[in-house]
Chain A
């Protein structure tokens, strides 16, 4: 055991006390901080201006004046603010709000009501226009008042050039929507401002009532917490797995491996490396977890954290670590250089991508068949089950423990396979092994 400890200690010291480790450890939270603080400034499009011409064929004869006045009003910041308020009250998406918030400098090209639509379409792609031709709009005859014998109102047809920015289209649609509603209100002799006020019901913030008291509901927390725990788990496992893979390839390529094997058995070496890198990733996870706790405390949300989740995080971490970490180390032992290791790693990396791909449907519906299946199949069951446990609809306890049982069995299986590959792989140099060779090593060892 002392030798295993010595190997583990060296791995830990050689990794942790390096600039690379510190940079690697800090880079993720740093990116997070940068995205949160600078992201809106960097990626926001408030400065964007929607500028160009729109041609309108108004079959009703009453919409055009309103289009003109809406376009004119959109140039006023006050009107835009009001528009955004209205859109927010109507639960518009961020994308729509951004588009509406963009400054619009549209120029209206009025076409006669009986104009030939096919001919007018040519205007859209007219070469070298003075101002961009953004859209051709054909307002339906029943857009303002229903045709006799029908109660349905029509709308308009929108023709746009290819490769038009979505935000331009949203802005044009916003203009047309406002103009048609204004026209409808006008012909019915309704007060448009009053109508807007009537339609406004501001979104309220709910209050969560728990056994420990009341607090403002944090919107999206049921999604953020499972994602955060899964992210922490993946980060911890990959951190260790990548480290074991890299150091094993290095030890093999710089030929120090045989010196080590003269002092320890392959199993002691593998055990020591597993232990050392487990310590490294637990340290990294603890630091990230501490960052998370500080953030929760800063926003007075510490009470949201369920201690049970930390317990399950640890259990599933150990399962995932021994399953994926040992396989990554085995791959490292079989490869002569990192390029070969990356090729052998591909199937495992594809499996590791599944939690990223599936986390959203699992969190949205934690009891779906997909979520249940994912939470039982090693090596990704740890991620799937942790997502479900942290979700708003946790699974029954028997499922959690059954998943743990499957996970432990999977971990033992992975360790068994990894040990067999490791024992042969570390002394194999030359031709890069393929999956068939690895399978042969498992059978032979």
Chain B
């Protein structure tokens, strides 16, 4: 296993808690500069895997390298980490708190104050430097927590459920911060339940389920396959004559969802011909083969017992 050019390497890493195997022989290689999404249902083992990567927990077996080093302990100053359960020192003031975390991450005292102040300004919180953390709103606290993870400009940024509990504005800000860190050259790995965000931000997605890796593919590869037995269309004037649609010989059924409609085609029907038939009944602003979303993949794996097979599957196989 070569370590050059890789930010994280896990080889058959296993962690058990009593009789529960939280992570089972997990293999994972993340290249430097990549942007990875780590997805999986609750209790899948994501946080345990992340904690092992961070050397907060030690694996029972397997090999692990972070930034080319055998343990994150040796590279902690180069890693930014936002845990799922995160907090602040309530009585500390914002700027001293960030300076304290930065110093723990090895940032030199010189210029640190300016760096912290400009980072606070960058996230739109200018003026809170002297406030105690307990005086901040929930949204402000979350922004400061995120800032604490990136204030030292890490080479590797690991975020555990960063979008949980964020309002749309903060979500947008965090997304921008993640992308900015990625553009700066940092390797980013974040776990999430919010599939649209993972789909939008990530280059690559890893999914674990019941401690096993069940998906490890580029997002583009996962989303590329289209379902030739289903169409998605948006009516031109918003009105659809469902009776006329269902009466078409190619159509097995039609359902509306979020302003668009999904049409299930009968077996053996040619999709192109079906499109023409549909357009003949209902003028549409958009009609295409139904594209598989990350959420579909997630549900298809997490929603079936087959997801626990233990073998990493390709996006195609998992579909």
Contacts and interface: CB of A to CB of B under 8 A. Distances in A.
Interface in B53-88: 54-57, 73, 76-77, 79-81, 83, 85-88
Interface stretch (B89-97, B117-125, B176-184): B89-97
B87 A263 contact: no
Nearest to A264: B104
Given A256-B89, A258-B83, A427-B51, A263 B56 contact: no
B104 A3 contact: yes
A32 to B, nearest CB: 30
Given A262-B76, A262-B81, A427-B51, A14 B86 contact: no
In this complex, the member of A260, A261, A263, A427 whose beta carbon has the largest number of chain B beta carbons within 10 angstroms is: A263
A211 B73 CA distance: 60
A2 B149 CA distance: 19
B92 A254 contact: no
Contact of A262 (B54, B88, B92): B54
Nearest to B54: A262
Nearest to A429: B85
A59 interface: no
A14 B54 contact: no
Given A259-B87, A262-B56, A6 B76 contact: no
B101 interface: yes
Given A263-B101, A427-B51, A258 B89 contact: no
A254 B104 contact: no
B88 A256 contact: yes
A15 to B, nearest CB: 10
B46 interface: no
Interface in A1-60: 2-3, 6-7, 10, 14, 18
A265 B72 CA distance: 10
Given A3-B104, A6-B104, A262 B83 contact: yes
B105 interface: yes
Nearest to B152: A263
A14 B57 CA distance: 28
A260 B55 CA distance: 12
A258 B55 CA distance: 11
A370 to B, nearest CB: 45
Contacts of B56: 258, 261-262, 427
Q: For the side of the interface on B, what is the size category?
A: 20 to 34
Contacts of B92: 14
Contact of A255 (B57, B80, B85, B101): B85
A323 B49 CA distance: 35
Given A265-B73, A427-B51, A427-B56, A6 B86 contact: no
Contacts of B105: 263
B91 A258 contact: no
Interface string B133-145: 0000000000001
B87 A6 contact: no
B100 A6 contact: yes
Contacts of B76: 262-264
Contacts of B73: 265
A256 B145 CA distance: 10
A171 B105 CA distance: 75
A256 B73 CA distance: 18
B7 interface: no
B189 interface: no
Interface of A: 2-3, 6-7, 10, 14, 18, 251, 254-256, 258-265, 427, 429
Given A6-B103, A258-B81, 19 more contacts: A2-B106, A3-B104, A6-B100, A6-B104, A7-B104, A14-B91, A255-B83, A256-B87, A256-B88, A258-B85, A259-B81, A259-B83, A259-B148, A262-B79, A262-B80, A262-B81, A263-B104, A264-B104, A427-B56
19 contacts: A2-B106, A6-B104, A10-B100, A254-B88, A255-B83, A255-B85, A255-B87, A256-B89, A258-B56, A258-B83, A259-B145, A261-B54, A262-B54, A262-B79, A262-B149, A263-B105, A265-B73, A427-B56, A427-B57
The 4 closest A-B CB pairs, nearest first, are: A255-B87, A262-B81, A263-B104, A258-B83
